[in-house]
Amino acid sequence: MSHHLHLRGSVPPLSFRGGLDARFSPGVPWHFASSSSNVGVAAASSARTLRPPQHRAKVMAKEAGEQETAALGWAARDASGVLSPFDFSRRAQKDDDVTIKVLYCGICHTDLYIIKNEWGNAMYPVVPGHEILGVVTDVGSGVTKFKAGETVGVGYFVGSCRSCESCGNGYENYCYGMVLTSNGIDAEHGGAVTQGGFSDVIVVNEDYVVRVPDGLPLDKAAPLLCAGVTVYSPMMRFGLNAPGKHLGVVGLGGLGHVAVKFGKAFGMKVTVISTSPGKREEAIEKLGADDFLVSRDPGQMQAAFGTMDGILDTVSAWHPISPLFALMKPMGQMVFVGGPTKPLELPAVAIVPGGKGIAGNCVGGMRDCQAMLDFAGKHGITAEVEVIKMDYVNTALERLQKNDVRYRFVIDVAGSLGTTA
Ligand SMILES: [Zn+2]
Ligand SMILES: [Zn+2]
């Protein structure tokens, strides 16, 4: 279960799989077409494949004054999704760029979808990872927000158009020009395919980097960069952050368990709704939830009828949603952050009589991401994690596929990458 869609800008419709021409088909989001129009996905992909092998510790001089940085990552080469060591290079640091040594990187369900090409848009080799926690090692001459030695984070995207309405409103995550951190197309930098945080170093424009507050354990903080902001952002947007309000959290995975912690820190009553009765004790005693509903138990669901102000549904597997709407008060707000591929069933009667709202959410903008981290720092909110070494990553991905993790894998990149390649 879990996870957020991360669809826009990253998921082509099925027709796209047929080839580049499909980008001109009706139904292809224009931003996807736009992001591939300079280079073309296939062209970018093959160009990358054809690049000569590069050696780490060797700094490449591309053009006068532009030096790329050698990088080592773990990449998937095909739809098997199996990761193995991969030498590549990071773009030359520009005046407004920050160079970051990656310390930790969380593993998100989205990584799994992309490396296995389940969305049909993988541009191999793919270095996954967008829950990046690291330390600044160098900054461009125009950088004002960061300096070397500071602890920073990078999340789901590393660029946006900066001029659209979404960008202007602080929702770069809904910008049609958003550049994904991994498996994205960086139009501003020659249409290069972006490589994520399962690597030793990354170069990012300072506007897409956030500061990590002192005191947060770095390994446990990494998942906040995606899972954290994915639940925090809609809570802010829909006022599900007020003391005394009652929040329902459907699904207790990477996203859900963090949502419980934020809800409690906001002073809300939090009820976890799950198909797994076995998670009750952990939800209440370890994560601090006030109540726990087994969604398959009609008696429990009936008893909670009309009590919630809002619900965050974090489940990625198909599930009945009508009973969830019944849990909400009139005008309650449902927010979906998971992405079942099979359409959900929503009878109008589930929302019309009670005037209920329904929305989706995908990660959050830079402003929300920084505010989320600051809030987490103040309240000591982190994810529950299992820290792994890089050479365990393929096993971890298999376990993630089976939801066999409580609740997030985090790779100790700096502590294990160099020793496994
Ligand atoms: Zn993610
Ligand atoms: Zn924009």
Instruction: Determine the Cα–Cα distance for residues 66 and 189; give it in Å rounded to an integer.
Output: 12
- 110 three-state secondary structure: helix
All structural domains of the chain, each given as residue ranges with its CATH number in brackets, are 16-223+384-420 (3.90.180.10), 227-360 (3.40.50.720)
Mean pLDDT for the stretch of residues 371-391: 98
Distance 10 CA to ligand 2 centre (A): 15
The ligand placed nearest to the CA atom of residue 172 is 2
Residues with CB under 5 A from ligand 2 (ion): 160-161, 164, 167, 175
Q: Identify which of 106, 195, 141, 36 has the alpha carbon closest to the alpha carbon of residue 393.
A: 106
Distance 299 CA to ligand 1 centre (A): 35
Q: Which helix (H) or strand (E) holds 385?
A: strand 385-388
60 or 418, greater pLDDT: 418
Radius of gyration of the chain measured on its C-alpha atoms: 21
Per-residue confidence band for 314, with pLDDT thresholds at 50, 70 and 90 = very high
The ligand placed nearest to the CA atom of residue 111 is 1
The ligand placed nearest to the CA atom of residue 10 is 1
pLDDT, residue 341, reads 79
Distance 108 CA to ligand 1 centre (A): 5
Beta bridge partners of 154: 132
Instruction: Determine the Cα–Cα distance for residues 379 and 265; give it in Å rounded to an integer.
Output: 7
Non-local CB neighbours of 85 within 8 Å, separated by 6+ positions: 72, 73, 74, 420, 421
Q: What is the DSSP string of 241-280?
A: TSTT-EEEEE--SHHHHHHHHHHHHTT-EEEEEES-GGGH
Three-state secondary structure string covering 221-247: HHHHHCHHHHHHHHHHHCCCCCCCCEE
Mean pLDDT for the stretch of residues 107-113: 93
Mean pLDDT for the stretch of residues 335-353: 92
Residues with CB under 5 A from ligand 1 (ion): 108, 110, 226
Mean pLDDT for the stretch of residues 265-272: 98
Poorest-pLDDT segment among 65-69, 140-144, 248-252, 362-366: 65-69
Mean pLDDT for the stretch of residues 88-100: 96
The ligand placed nearest to the CA atom of residue 365 is 2
pLDDT, residue 67, reads 87
Distance 142 CA to ligand 1 centre (A): 30
Distance 173 CA to ligand 2 centre (A): 8
Tens digits of residue pLDDT in 64-77: 457 899 999 999 99
Mean pLDDT for the stretch of residues 302-317: 96
**What's the chain's average pLDDT?**
87
Tens digits of residue pLDDT in 181-216: 999 999 888 899 999 999 999 999 999 999 999 999
Given a cut of 50, is residue 380 above it in pLDDT?
A: yes
Distance 368 CA to ligand 1 centre (A): 15
Distance 28 CA to ligand 2 centre (A): 18
The ligand placed nearest to the CA atom of residue 408 is 1
- 337 three-state secondary structure: coil
The ligand placed nearest to the CA atom of residue 129 is 1
Instruction: Determine the Cα–Cα distance for residues 110 and 254; give it in Å rounded to an integer.
Output: 12
Mean pLDDT for the stretch of residues 215-240: 97
The ligand placed nearest to the CA atom of residue 229 is 1
Beta bridge partners of 193: 185
Given a cut of 60, is residue 1 above it in pLDDT?
A: no
Instruction: Determine the Cα–Cα distance for residues 290 and 268; give it in Å rounded to an integer.
Output: 9
Distance 177 CA to ligand 2 centre (A): 6
Distance 4 CA to ligand 1 centre (A): 7
Given a cut of 70, is residue 59 above it in pLDDT?
A: no
Instruction: Determine the Cα–Cα distance for residues 380 and 345; give it in Å rounded to an integer.
Output: 38
Task: Tell me the CA distances in angstroms from 123 to 47, 75, 150, 212, 226, one per residue in order.
Answer: 11, 11, 32, 31, 21
Task: Tell me the CA distances in angstroms from 315 to 254, 348, 396, one per residue in order.
Answer: 10, 21, 20
What are the structure tokens assigned to 193, written together? 């395919």
Distance 151 CA to ligand 2 centre (A): 27
pLDDT, residue 17, reads 30
